[in-house]
């Protein structure tokens, strides 16, 4: 399997599946009556973010390591930082308009480091840590004679980046969620890329490699994150492993199943879909119980799928509109 040739087929499909699962989980959450929970939603909630970070870590392998350090960090900041700033402020403005957020110059500035829209902020920091690891690799590259040693160091340095994340988790940028827990999945995603790149011709070895990394992940997490319940270990590992196994087994999936191209299309717009549905459709309305007031609670399953489809439709339509001009395309979508 040629990674370059099949990148869109494999990566976009997995991204599409991942963001659909996230939107579905949020649809389930927002349609729940107040103070009620749901077993399926709790299951999805357990692994949805680790899955997205794993996918992001896997895709990072296409640009890391690199000799062009300036291009690497410039592209990542352009792709993530500008849209994050815009969408974080949009969320705050909507929250202010709905009456549960006070607005001032201070809150506008602080919003960038404390916004509940934390996914992109964490991703930016993770890529900065990866950039720092890349700097170390470039410094050592002249004295590294073996390509295998270079590959091993390219894997070990991001692991060492966990120390940076540990220090930063006490700052406002990373203190809203378990940053180390999410960073672990980001690094595991990159490990899977390395496996796929070097032994992708042997699917049997690749599949075993995925399972071994997942088991190692459980062991590491158990000793480092004991405050996280065992259900989260097992659920994250099973769900993420099943999705990641697809990386080595999709092949020419889109050529065999024509409908997969729609999922691939969604996968090409993962971050904008996440931003639009979270900042506009989901989070501002969560505390208002808007959806449970509009939709009949007796038809919960219908409401969930109806909400999910509407959210995806609105997000895709919004993305197409924003792509009409270069300015909106750059500011809101992080696209050139």
Domain ranges of the chain: 3-333
pTM assigned to the model: 0.84
The region of weakest confidence among 41-45, 166-170, 245-249, 301-305 is 245-249
At 99 the three-state DSSP class reads coil
Q: What is the mean pLDDT of residues 179-200?
A: 78
Buried/exposed code over 205-214 (b: 16+ C-beta within 10 A; e: otherwise): ebbebbeebb
From residue 244, alpha-carbon distances to 14, 25, 56, 289 in Å are 8, 19, 12, 35
pLDDT at 3: 45
Give the pLDDT band of residue 2 (cuts 50, 70, 90): very low
pLDDT at 201: 54
Q: What is the mean pLDDT of residues 287-301?
A: 66
Between these two residues, 62 and 284, which has the higher pLDDT value? 62
Task: Please give the Cα distance from 39 to 266 (Å, whole number).
Answer: 27
pLDDT over 50 (residue 314): yes
Provide, rounded to the nearest whole percent, the portion of the chain with pLDDT above 70. 72
Task: Please give the Cα distance from 130 to 125 (Å, whole number).
Answer: 9
Task: Please give the Cα distance from 44 to 235 (Å, whole number).
Answer: 9
The region of weakest confidence among 164-168, 210-214, 298-302, 332-336 is 210-214
For residue 187, what are the contacts with CB-CB under 8 A and spacing of at least 6?
A: 57, 158, 159, 161, 162
Q: What is the mean pLDDT of residues 152-164?
A: 85
325 CB burial (10 A radius; 0-12, 13-18, 19+): exposed
The secondary structure element, H or E, covering residue 271 is: helix 270-276
Q: What is the mean pLDDT of residues 251-280?
A: 76
Residue among 5, 1, 11 at smallest CA distance from 251 = 1
Q: How does pLDDT run across 86-99, given as a tens digit for each residue? A: 998 898 888 888 77
Give the pLDDT band of residue 289 (cuts 50, 70, 90): low
């Amino acid at each position: 399997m040629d990674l370059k040739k099949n990148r869109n087929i494999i990566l976009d499909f997995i991204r599409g599946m991942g963001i659909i699962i996230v939107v579905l989980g949020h649809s389930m959450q927002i349609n729940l009556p107040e103070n009620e929970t749901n077993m399926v939603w709790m299951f999805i909630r357990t692994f949805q973010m680790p899955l997205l970070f794993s996918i992001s870590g896997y895709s990072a392998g296409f640009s890391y390591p690199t000799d062009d350090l300036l291009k690497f960090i410039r592209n990542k900041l352009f792709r993530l930082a500008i849209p994050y700033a815009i969408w974080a402020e949009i969320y705050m403005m909507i929250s202010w308009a709905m009456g549960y957020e006070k607005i001032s110059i201070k809150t506008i500035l602080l919003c960038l480091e404390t916004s509940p829209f934390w996914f992109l902020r964490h991703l930016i920091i993770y890529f900065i840590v990866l950039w720092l690891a890349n700097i170390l690799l470039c410094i050592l590259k002249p004295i590294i004679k073996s390509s295998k040693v270079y590959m091993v160091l390219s894997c070990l340095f991001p692991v060492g980046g966990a120390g940076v994340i540990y220090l930063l988790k006490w700052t406002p940028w990373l203190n809203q969620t378990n940053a180390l827990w999410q960073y672990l999945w980001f690094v595991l995603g990159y490990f899977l890329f390395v496996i796929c790149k070097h032994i992708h011709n042997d699917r049997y070895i690749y599949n075993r490699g995925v399972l071994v990394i997942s088991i190692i992940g459980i062991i590491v997490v158990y000793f480092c994150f004991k405050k996280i319940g065992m259900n989260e270990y097992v659920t994250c590992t099973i769900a993420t492993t099943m999705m990641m196994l697809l990386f080595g087994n999709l092949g020419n999936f889109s050529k065999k199943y024509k409908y997969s191209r729609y999922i691939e299309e969604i996968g090409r717009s993962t971050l904008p879909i996440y931003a639009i549905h979270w900042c506009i459709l989901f989070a501002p309305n969560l505390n208002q119980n808007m959806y449970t007031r509009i939709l009949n609670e007796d038809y919960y399953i219908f409401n969930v799928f109806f909400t999910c489809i509407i959210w995806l439709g609105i997000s895709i339509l919004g993305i197409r509109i924003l792509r009409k001009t270069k300015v909106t395309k750059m500011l809101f979508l992080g696209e050139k």
